[in-house]
Structure 1
Amino acid sequence: MTERSTSTPPDFAAVPDRPVPAGEGAGDPTGTSAADTASVAYTERLARLGGVSWKQWLDVQRPYRWNVRRLNLGRVLDVGCGIGRNLAHLDGNGVGIDHNPTSVATARARGFTAFTPDEFRGGPYDRPDSFDTLLLAHVIEHVQHATALELVREYLPYLRPGGRVLFICPQERGWASDATHVRFVDLAGLAALSAELGLTVERSFSFPFPRWAGKAFTYNEFVVLARKPS
Protein backbone atom coordinates (compact mmCIF):
# COMPACT_ATOMS: atom_id res chain seq x y z
CA MET A 1 0.00 0.00 0.00
CA THR A 2 1.32 3.44 -0.88
CA GLU A 3 0.11 6.70 0.64
CA ARG A 4 -0.06 9.59 -1.77
CA SER A 5 -0.73 13.28 -1.37
CA THR A 6 -3.74 14.62 -3.23
CA SER A 7 -1.58 17.53 -4.39
CA THR A 8 0.37 15.21 -6.70
CA PRO A 9 -0.69 15.65 -10.35
CA PRO A 10 -2.80 12.71 -11.55
CA ASP A 11 -1.03 10.13 -13.72
CA PHE A 12 -3.97 9.63 -16.04
CA ALA A 13 -5.49 13.09 -16.33
CA ALA A 14 -5.84 12.79 -20.11
CA VAL A 15 -8.53 10.11 -19.89
CA PRO A 16 -11.74 11.77 -21.17
CA ASP A 17 -15.25 11.30 -19.90
CA ARG A 18 -16.75 8.35 -21.74
CA PRO A 19 -20.39 8.80 -22.74
CA VAL A 20 -22.70 5.85 -22.29
CA PRO A 21 -23.40 4.34 -25.75
CA ALA A 22 -26.90 4.64 -27.17
CA GLY A 23 -29.20 1.99 -25.75
CA GLU A 24 -27.08 1.55 -22.63
CA GLY A 25 -27.12 3.15 -19.20
CA ALA A 26 -30.03 3.70 -16.87
CA GLY A 27 -32.29 4.63 -19.77
CA ASP A 28 -32.21 1.18 -21.34
CA PRO A 29 -35.90 0.20 -21.35
CA THR A 30 -35.20 -3.53 -21.77
CA GLY A 31 -33.22 -3.93 -18.54
CA THR A 32 -31.28 -6.72 -20.24
CA SER A 33 -27.94 -5.07 -21.00
CA ALA A 34 -24.98 -5.67 -18.67
CA ALA A 35 -23.99 -2.09 -19.58
CA ASP A 36 -27.06 -0.89 -17.65
CA THR A 37 -26.21 -0.88 -13.93
CA ALA A 38 -29.91 -1.18 -13.06
CA SER A 39 -30.40 -4.32 -15.16
CA VAL A 40 -30.76 -7.96 -14.19
CA ALA A 41 -27.82 -8.71 -16.48
CA TYR A 42 -25.56 -6.37 -14.51
CA THR A 43 -26.43 -8.14 -11.26
CA GLU A 44 -25.70 -11.46 -12.93
CA ARG A 45 -22.34 -10.10 -14.09
CA LEU A 46 -21.44 -9.06 -10.53
CA ALA A 47 -22.43 -12.47 -9.18
CA ARG A 48 -20.54 -14.28 -11.92
CA LEU A 49 -17.34 -12.29 -11.40
CA GLY A 50 -17.47 -12.69 -7.64
CA GLY A 51 -18.32 -16.38 -7.73
CA VAL A 52 -15.41 -17.64 -9.84
CA SER A 53 -14.04 -20.71 -8.04
CA TRP A 54 -10.38 -19.68 -8.07
CA LYS A 55 -11.29 -16.33 -6.50
CA GLN A 56 -13.10 -18.15 -3.72
CA TRP A 57 -10.25 -20.60 -3.22
CA LEU A 58 -7.62 -17.86 -3.07
CA ASP A 59 -9.87 -15.56 -1.01
CA VAL A 60 -9.02 -12.63 -3.28
CA GLN A 61 -11.22 -10.34 -1.18
CA ARG A 62 -8.96 -10.76 1.84
CA PRO A 63 -6.83 -7.59 1.33
CA TYR A 64 -9.92 -5.49 0.52
CA ARG A 65 -11.73 -6.86 3.56
CA TRP A 66 -8.69 -5.96 5.68
CA ASN A 67 -8.53 -2.47 4.17
CA VAL A 68 -12.16 -1.70 5.01
CA ARG A 69 -11.96 -3.11 8.52
CA ARG A 70 -8.70 -1.41 9.52
CA LEU A 71 -10.26 2.00 8.89
CA ASN A 72 -12.66 1.48 11.83
CA LEU A 73 -15.66 2.78 9.93
CA GLY A 74 -18.30 2.11 12.59
CA ARG A 75 -21.89 2.07 11.35
CA VAL A 76 -21.78 2.33 7.54
CA LEU A 77 -24.30 3.41 4.90
CA ASP A 78 -23.07 1.71 1.72
CA VAL A 79 -24.42 3.70 -1.23
CA GLY A 80 -24.24 1.62 -4.40
CA CYS A 81 -23.85 -1.62 -2.46
CA GLY A 82 -24.45 -3.91 -5.44
CA ILE A 83 -24.85 -7.52 -4.32
CA GLY A 84 -23.11 -6.83 -1.01
CA ARG A 85 -19.37 -7.24 -1.52
CA ASN A 86 -18.49 -4.54 1.01
CA LEU A 87 -21.44 -5.32 3.26
CA ALA A 88 -19.79 -8.72 3.71
CA HIS A 89 -16.66 -6.95 4.96
CA LEU A 90 -18.53 -4.91 7.58
CA ASP A 91 -19.52 -7.69 9.99
CA GLY A 92 -23.17 -6.64 10.17
CA ASN A 93 -22.39 -2.96 10.69
CA GLY A 94 -23.59 -1.86 7.25
CA VAL A 95 -26.83 -0.90 5.54
CA GLY A 96 -26.82 -0.94 1.74
CA ILE A 97 -28.64 1.12 -0.87
CA ASP A 98 -28.66 0.37 -4.59
CA HIS A 99 -30.78 1.50 -7.53
CA ASN A 100 -30.76 -2.03 -8.97
CA PRO A 101 -33.65 -3.96 -7.38
CA THR A 102 -32.21 -7.30 -8.47
CA SER A 103 -28.90 -6.50 -6.79
CA VAL A 104 -30.76 -5.48 -3.64
CA ALA A 105 -32.72 -8.75 -3.66
CA THR A 106 -29.48 -10.68 -4.13
CA ALA A 107 -27.82 -8.84 -1.24
CA ARG A 108 -30.80 -9.63 0.98
CA ALA A 109 -30.69 -13.29 -0.03
CA ARG A 110 -27.07 -13.29 1.15
CA GLY A 111 -28.22 -12.09 4.56
CA PHE A 112 -27.44 -8.38 4.25
CA THR A 113 -29.61 -5.36 5.03
CA ALA A 114 -30.20 -3.58 1.73
CA PHE A 115 -32.80 -1.33 0.14
CA THR A 116 -33.63 0.46 -3.06
CA PRO A 117 -33.68 4.26 -2.57
CA ASP A 118 -37.49 4.28 -2.45
CA GLU A 119 -37.53 1.51 0.15
CA PHE A 120 -34.93 3.28 2.26
CA ARG A 121 -36.91 6.52 2.45
CA GLY A 122 -39.40 6.33 5.28
CA GLY A 123 -37.93 3.05 6.50
CA PRO A 124 -36.34 2.17 9.85
CA TYR A 125 -32.90 3.50 8.85
CA ASP A 126 -34.14 6.80 7.43
CA ARG A 127 -32.76 8.84 10.34
CA PRO A 128 -30.46 11.88 10.08
CA ASP A 129 -26.99 11.70 11.68
CA SER A 130 -27.32 7.94 12.25
CA PHE A 131 -24.23 6.61 10.44
CA ASP A 132 -20.53 6.96 11.20
CA THR A 133 -19.39 6.47 7.60
CA LEU A 134 -20.83 6.94 4.13
CA LEU A 135 -19.24 4.45 1.69
CA LEU A 136 -19.24 4.92 -2.09
CA ALA A 137 -17.16 2.10 -3.54
CA HIS A 138 -16.98 1.84 -7.33
CA VAL A 139 -19.84 4.30 -7.74
CA ILE A 140 -18.47 7.74 -8.66
CA GLU A 141 -16.92 6.53 -11.94
CA HIS A 142 -20.36 5.39 -13.13
CA VAL A 143 -21.84 8.91 -13.23
CA GLN A 144 -20.94 12.38 -14.43
CA HIS A 145 -19.58 14.90 -11.93
CA ALA A 146 -22.84 16.79 -11.35
CA THR A 147 -24.68 13.54 -10.67
CA ALA A 148 -21.96 12.43 -8.26
CA LEU A 149 -22.34 15.66 -6.29
CA GLU A 150 -26.11 15.26 -6.20
CA LEU A 151 -25.85 11.63 -5.08
CA VAL A 152 -23.45 12.27 -2.20
CA ARG A 153 -25.39 15.34 -1.06
CA GLU A 154 -28.57 13.26 -0.95
CA TYR A 155 -27.08 10.92 1.64
CA LEU A 156 -24.76 13.24 3.58
CA PRO A 157 -27.57 14.16 6.02
CA TYR A 158 -27.52 10.55 7.25
CA LEU A 159 -23.86 10.94 8.25
CA ARG A 160 -23.30 12.19 11.79
CA PRO A 161 -21.36 15.44 12.31
CA GLY A 162 -17.66 14.58 12.21
CA GLY A 163 -18.40 11.34 10.36
CA ARG A 164 -16.40 10.18 7.36
CA VAL A 165 -16.99 9.51 3.67
CA LEU A 166 -14.98 6.70 2.06
CA PHE A 167 -14.58 6.89 -1.72
CA ILE A 168 -13.11 3.96 -3.68
CA CYS A 169 -12.60 4.09 -7.47
CA PRO A 170 -10.80 1.82 -9.95
CA GLN A 171 -7.49 2.68 -11.56
CA GLU A 172 -6.77 2.46 -15.31
CA ARG A 173 -7.05 -1.28 -15.91
CA GLY A 174 -10.14 -1.62 -13.74
CA TRP A 175 -11.76 1.44 -15.27
CA ALA A 176 -11.36 -0.01 -18.76
CA SER A 177 -12.84 -3.37 -17.72
CA ASP A 178 -16.43 -2.17 -17.25
CA ALA A 179 -18.53 -0.63 -20.03
CA THR A 180 -20.69 1.19 -17.47
CA HIS A 181 -17.80 3.42 -16.38
CA VAL A 182 -18.32 6.89 -17.85
CA ARG A 183 -15.37 8.86 -16.45
CA PHE A 184 -12.00 8.20 -14.86
CA VAL A 185 -11.73 9.59 -11.31
CA ASP A 186 -8.30 9.55 -9.65
CA LEU A 187 -7.07 10.75 -6.25
CA ALA A 188 -7.02 14.37 -7.38
CA GLY A 189 -10.56 14.05 -8.73
CA LEU A 190 -11.81 12.54 -5.48
CA ALA A 191 -10.07 15.28 -3.50
CA ALA A 192 -11.75 17.93 -5.66
CA LEU A 193 -15.13 16.24 -5.21
CA SER A 194 -14.59 16.14 -1.45
CA ALA A 195 -13.74 19.84 -1.37
CA GLU A 196 -16.92 20.72 -3.29
CA LEU A 197 -18.90 18.73 -0.73
CA GLY A 198 -17.29 20.58 2.17
CA LEU A 199 -15.33 17.51 3.30
CA THR A 200 -11.74 17.45 4.53
CA VAL A 201 -9.53 14.71 3.07
CA GLU A 202 -7.71 12.79 5.80
CA ARG A 203 -6.21 9.91 3.84
CA SER A 204 -5.53 9.34 0.15
CA PHE A 205 -3.76 6.26 -1.19
CA SER A 206 -3.43 3.51 -3.80
CA PHE A 207 -4.44 0.00 -2.74
CA PRO A 208 -3.40 -2.81 -2.60
CA PHE A 209 -0.36 -1.99 -4.74
CA PRO A 210 1.53 1.25 -5.51
CA ARG A 211 0.06 3.64 -8.05
CA TRP A 212 2.04 2.31 -11.01
CA ALA A 213 0.28 -1.07 -10.74
CA GLY A 214 -3.06 0.41 -11.75
CA LYS A 215 -2.20 0.26 -15.43
CA ALA A 216 -1.70 -3.52 -15.28
CA PHE A 217 -3.69 -4.82 -12.28
CA THR A 218 -7.47 -4.69 -12.67
CA TYR A 219 -8.22 -4.50 -8.96
CA ASN A 220 -5.92 -1.64 -7.92
CA GLU A 221 -7.97 1.13 -6.36
CA PHE A 222 -7.91 4.81 -5.46
CA VAL A 223 -9.00 5.26 -1.84
CA VAL A 224 -9.91 8.60 -0.26
CA LEU A 225 -11.21 9.05 3.27
CA ALA A 226 -12.72 12.47 3.99
CA ARG A 227 -14.40 13.93 7.07
CA LYS A 228 -17.64 15.86 7.42
CA PRO A 229 -17.43 18.98 9.63
CA SER A 230 -18.40 18.47 13.27
Structure 2
Amino acid sequence: MSEAPESPKPGSPTGGATADASYTERLVTLEQSGIKRLLPTQAPYRWNLKRLQLGRVLDVGCGVGRNLQNCDPGSVGVDHNETSVATARARGLIAYTADEFEADPELSRPGAFDSLLVAHVLEHLDLETCEQLLKSYLPSIRSGGKVVLITPQAAGYKSDPTHVRFVDFEGLRDYAERAGLRVDRSYSFPLPEAAGKVFKYNEYILVGIVP
Protein backbone atom coordinates (compact mmCIF):
# COMPACT_ATOMS: atom_id res chain seq x y z
CA MET A 1 0.00 0.00 0.00
CA SER A 2 1.26 3.50 -0.82
CA GLU A 3 2.30 5.71 2.05
CA ALA A 4 -0.69 7.79 3.09
CA PRO A 5 -0.26 11.52 2.44
CA GLU A 6 -0.85 13.75 5.40
CA SER A 7 -4.40 15.03 5.66
CA PRO A 8 -5.13 18.32 7.47
CA LYS A 9 -7.17 18.14 10.68
CA PRO A 10 -9.12 14.91 10.06
CA GLY A 11 -12.81 14.77 10.89
CA SER A 12 -14.69 12.08 12.77
CA PRO A 13 -13.72 8.52 11.81
CA THR A 14 -17.40 7.68 11.63
CA GLY A 15 -18.25 10.45 9.16
CA GLY A 16 -19.68 12.96 11.63
CA ALA A 17 -17.80 15.83 10.02
CA THR A 18 -19.80 15.30 6.83
CA ALA A 19 -23.24 15.19 8.43
CA ASP A 20 -24.11 18.85 8.89
CA ALA A 21 -25.43 21.57 6.59
CA SER A 22 -22.05 23.28 6.26
CA TYR A 23 -20.65 20.23 4.49
CA THR A 24 -23.51 20.33 1.97
CA GLU A 25 -22.82 24.03 1.39
CA ARG A 26 -19.18 23.17 0.75
CA LEU A 27 -20.13 20.56 -1.85
CA VAL A 28 -22.40 22.98 -3.68
CA THR A 29 -19.76 25.71 -3.61
CA LEU A 30 -17.09 23.39 -4.99
CA GLU A 31 -19.37 22.47 -7.90
CA GLN A 32 -19.48 26.12 -8.95
CA SER A 33 -15.95 27.26 -8.18
CA GLY A 34 -13.09 28.32 -10.43
CA ILE A 35 -12.81 26.79 -13.88
CA LYS A 36 -15.87 24.61 -13.25
CA ARG A 37 -18.03 27.66 -14.00
CA LEU A 38 -16.60 27.94 -17.51
CA LEU A 39 -15.72 24.43 -18.70
CA PRO A 40 -17.53 21.04 -18.62
CA THR A 41 -15.05 19.59 -16.14
CA GLN A 42 -17.44 16.79 -15.15
CA ALA A 43 -17.71 15.44 -18.69
CA PRO A 44 -14.94 12.79 -18.34
CA TYR A 45 -16.45 11.52 -15.09
CA ARG A 46 -19.94 11.34 -16.62
CA TRP A 47 -18.48 9.39 -19.54
CA ASN A 48 -16.73 7.02 -17.18
CA LEU A 49 -19.95 6.21 -15.31
CA LYS A 50 -21.85 5.69 -18.56
CA ARG A 51 -19.29 3.30 -20.02
CA LEU A 52 -19.46 1.10 -16.91
CA GLN A 53 -23.08 0.28 -17.84
CA LEU A 54 -24.28 0.15 -14.26
CA GLY A 55 -28.03 -0.03 -14.87
CA ARG A 56 -30.15 0.90 -11.88
CA VAL A 57 -27.66 2.23 -9.32
CA LEU A 58 -27.75 2.47 -5.55
CA ASP A 59 -25.44 5.43 -4.89
CA VAL A 60 -24.37 5.25 -1.24
CA GLY A 61 -22.94 8.53 0.01
CA CYS A 62 -24.61 10.36 -2.88
CA GLY A 63 -24.07 13.82 -1.40
CA VAL A 64 -25.91 16.44 -3.45
CA GLY A 65 -26.24 14.07 -6.41
CA ARG A 66 -23.19 14.83 -8.55
CA ASN A 67 -22.89 11.20 -9.68
CA LEU A 68 -26.52 10.22 -9.17
CA GLN A 69 -27.67 12.69 -11.82
CA ASN A 70 -25.59 10.77 -14.38
CA CYS A 71 -27.00 7.35 -13.51
CA ASP A 72 -29.83 5.52 -15.27
CA PRO A 73 -33.46 6.42 -14.49
CA GLY A 74 -34.71 4.76 -11.31
CA SER A 75 -31.34 5.01 -9.61
CA VAL A 76 -31.45 5.93 -5.92
CA GLY A 77 -29.09 7.86 -3.67
CA VAL A 78 -28.55 7.39 0.07
CA ASP A 79 -26.72 9.77 2.37
CA HIS A 80 -26.48 10.37 6.13
CA ASN A 81 -26.57 14.15 5.60
CA GLU A 82 -30.21 15.27 5.58
CA THR A 83 -29.35 18.60 3.96
CA SER A 84 -27.52 16.87 1.13
CA VAL A 85 -30.48 14.55 0.60
CA ALA A 86 -32.83 17.53 0.45
CA THR A 87 -30.54 19.25 -2.07
CA ALA A 88 -30.43 16.15 -4.26
CA ARG A 89 -34.22 15.91 -4.16
CA ALA A 90 -34.53 19.58 -5.11
CA ARG A 91 -32.54 18.70 -8.22
CA GLY A 92 -35.16 16.15 -9.18
CA LEU A 93 -33.20 13.12 -7.99
CA ILE A 94 -34.41 10.17 -5.89
CA ALA A 95 -32.53 10.31 -2.60
CA TYR A 96 -33.11 9.13 0.96
CA THR A 97 -31.45 9.19 4.32
CA ALA A 98 -30.15 5.82 5.49
CA ASP A 99 -33.07 5.46 7.92
CA GLU A 100 -35.62 6.22 5.20
CA PHE A 101 -34.01 3.70 2.87
CA GLU A 102 -34.00 0.93 5.45
CA ALA A 103 -37.63 1.61 6.39
CA ASP A 104 -38.86 1.17 2.80
CA PRO A 105 -39.23 -2.56 2.04
CA GLU A 106 -39.36 -2.01 -1.71
CA LEU A 107 -36.11 -0.04 -1.79
CA SER A 108 -34.21 -2.30 0.58
CA ARG A 109 -35.42 -5.64 -0.80
CA PRO A 110 -32.68 -8.08 -1.88
CA GLY A 111 -31.45 -7.63 -5.44
CA ALA A 112 -33.41 -4.43 -6.09
CA PHE A 113 -30.47 -2.74 -7.85
CA ASP A 114 -28.06 -3.62 -10.63
CA SER A 115 -25.06 -1.83 -9.14
CA LEU A 116 -23.69 -0.24 -5.99
CA LEU A 117 -21.69 2.98 -6.31
CA VAL A 118 -19.58 4.13 -3.36
CA ALA A 119 -17.72 7.20 -4.60
CA HIS A 120 -15.56 9.38 -2.36
CA VAL A 121 -16.95 7.82 0.80
CA LEU A 122 -14.48 5.25 2.12
CA GLU A 123 -11.76 7.85 2.77
CA HIS A 124 -14.10 9.54 5.26
CA LEU A 125 -14.56 6.41 7.40
CA ASP A 126 -12.57 4.11 9.63
CA LEU A 127 -11.96 0.51 8.59
CA GLU A 128 -14.75 -1.03 10.66
CA THR A 129 -17.34 1.48 9.43
CA CYS A 130 -16.32 0.90 5.81
CA GLU A 131 -16.78 -2.83 6.18
CA GLN A 132 -20.16 -2.38 7.85
CA LEU A 133 -21.32 0.00 5.11
CA LEU A 134 -20.56 -2.51 2.36
CA LYS A 135 -22.11 -5.33 4.36
CA SER A 136 -25.30 -3.31 4.89
CA TYR A 137 -25.94 -2.41 1.25
CA LEU A 138 -24.58 -5.37 -0.72
CA PRO A 139 -27.78 -7.45 -0.24
CA SER A 140 -29.62 -4.81 -2.28
CA ILE A 141 -27.49 -5.62 -5.34
CA ARG A 142 -28.48 -8.51 -7.60
CA SER A 143 -26.21 -11.49 -8.16
CA GLY A 144 -23.83 -10.65 -10.99
CA GLY A 145 -24.27 -6.94 -10.36
CA LYS A 146 -21.41 -4.49 -10.10
CA VAL A 147 -19.89 -2.65 -7.16
CA VAL A 148 -17.86 0.46 -8.01
CA LEU A 149 -15.58 1.87 -5.34
CA ILE A 150 -13.94 5.25 -5.96
CA THR A 151 -11.45 7.13 -3.77
CA PRO A 152 -9.23 10.19 -4.29
CA GLN A 153 -5.53 9.94 -4.96
CA ALA A 154 -2.83 11.78 -3.00
CA ALA A 155 -3.57 15.41 -3.91
CA GLY A 156 -7.31 14.94 -3.56
CA TYR A 157 -6.92 13.20 -0.24
CA LYS A 158 -4.93 16.11 1.18
CA SER A 159 -7.47 18.67 -0.06
CA ASP A 160 -10.29 17.74 2.33
CA PRO A 161 -9.98 17.99 6.14
CA THR A 162 -12.74 15.42 6.62
CA HIS A 163 -10.65 12.62 5.08
CA VAL A 164 -9.35 10.14 7.65
CA ARG A 165 -8.02 7.13 5.68
CA PHE A 166 -6.01 7.03 2.46
CA VAL A 167 -7.42 4.19 0.34
CA ASP A 168 -5.39 3.26 -2.74
CA PHE A 169 -5.63 0.28 -5.10
CA GLU A 170 -4.49 -2.13 -2.41
CA GLY A 171 -6.98 -0.74 0.09
CA LEU A 172 -9.85 -0.95 -2.40
CA ARG A 173 -8.98 -4.52 -3.27
CA ASP A 174 -8.86 -5.41 0.41
CA TYR A 175 -12.33 -3.95 1.01
CA ALA A 176 -13.71 -5.76 -2.03
CA GLU A 177 -12.27 -9.10 -1.02
CA ARG A 178 -13.46 -8.73 2.58
CA ALA A 179 -16.94 -8.09 1.20
CA GLY A 180 -16.78 -11.28 -0.87
CA LEU A 181 -16.67 -9.54 -4.25
CA ARG A 182 -14.84 -10.79 -7.31
CA VAL A 183 -12.53 -8.01 -8.47
CA ASP A 184 -13.12 -7.35 -12.17
CA ARG A 185 -10.66 -4.50 -12.68
CA SER A 186 -9.10 -1.44 -11.13
CA TYR A 187 -7.70 1.65 -12.81
CA SER A 188 -6.63 5.26 -12.35
CA PHE A 189 -8.90 7.91 -13.84
CA PRO A 190 -8.80 10.23 -15.70
CA LEU A 191 -4.98 10.28 -15.70
CA PRO A 192 -2.26 7.77 -14.72
CA GLU A 193 -1.67 7.38 -10.99
CA ALA A 194 1.48 9.55 -11.02
CA ALA A 195 -0.70 12.57 -11.89
CA GLY A 196 -2.64 12.06 -8.67
CA LYS A 197 0.23 13.54 -6.68
CA VAL A 198 -0.63 17.00 -8.06
CA PHE A 199 -4.06 16.69 -9.74
CA LYS A 200 -6.61 16.51 -6.95
CA TYR A 201 -9.40 15.12 -9.13
CA ASN A 202 -7.55 11.91 -10.06
CA GLU A 203 -9.30 8.82 -8.76
CA TYR A 204 -8.68 5.20 -7.81
CA ILE A 205 -11.49 3.07 -9.22
CA LEU A 206 -12.27 -0.59 -8.54
CA VAL A 207 -15.06 -2.55 -10.19
CA GLY A 208 -16.18 -5.68 -8.38
CA ILE A 209 -18.81 -8.30 -9.18
CA VAL A 210 -21.39 -9.62 -6.72
CA PRO A 211 -21.34 -13.45 -6.56
Shorter-normalised TM-score: what interval?
Answer: over 0.9
Residue of structure 1 in register with 2:43 after alignment: 62
Residue of structure 2 in register with 1:143 after alignment: 125
* TM-superposed deviation, 1:36: 1.3
**Letter of the 2:4 counterpart:** V
3-state SS of paired residue (1:121): helix
3-state SS of paired residue (1:213): helix
| Unpaired stretches in structure 1, ≥5 consecutive residues | 1-9, 29-34
* TM-superposed deviation, 1:17: 8.7
Q: Does 1:88 align with 2:69?
A: yes
Query: What TM-score do you get using the length of structure 1 for normalisation?
Result: 0.86
**Letter of the 2:3 counterpart:** A
* TM-superposed deviation, 1:53: 6.2
Q: Does 1:160 align with 2:142?
A: yes
* TM-superposed deviation, 1:25: 2.8
Residue of structure 1 in register with 2:18 after alignment: 37
Q: CA RMSD in A?
A: 2.0
Residue of structure 2 in register with 1:171 after alignment: 153
3-state SS of paired residue (1:174): helix
Match 1:52 to one of 33, 41, 56: 33
Q: Provide Cα deviations, 1:173-199, integer angstroms capped at 9, x if missing partner.
A: 000000110010001110111111110
Residue of structure 2 in register with 1:14 after alignment: 3
| Alpha-carbon distance in 2 for matches of 1:25, 1:189 | 20
In structure 2, the CA distance between the partners of 1:157 and 1:43, relative to structure 1 (3 Å rule), is same
Residue of structure 1 in register with 2:169 after alignment: 187
In structure 2, the CA distance between the partners of 1:54 and 1:20, relative to structure 1 (3 Å rule), is closer
* Structure index of larger Rg: 1
| Alpha-carbon distance in 2 for matches of 1:186, 1:27 | 19
3-state SS of paired residue (2:147): strand
Residue of structure 1 in register with 2:82 after alignment: 101
Q: Provide Cα deviations, 1:154-211, integer angstroms capped at 9, x if missing partner.
A: 0011010111110000000000000110010001110111111110110100000011
**Letter of the 2:143 counterpart:** P
| Unpaired stretches in structure 2, ≥5 consecutive residues | none
* TM-superposed deviation, 1:67: 0.2
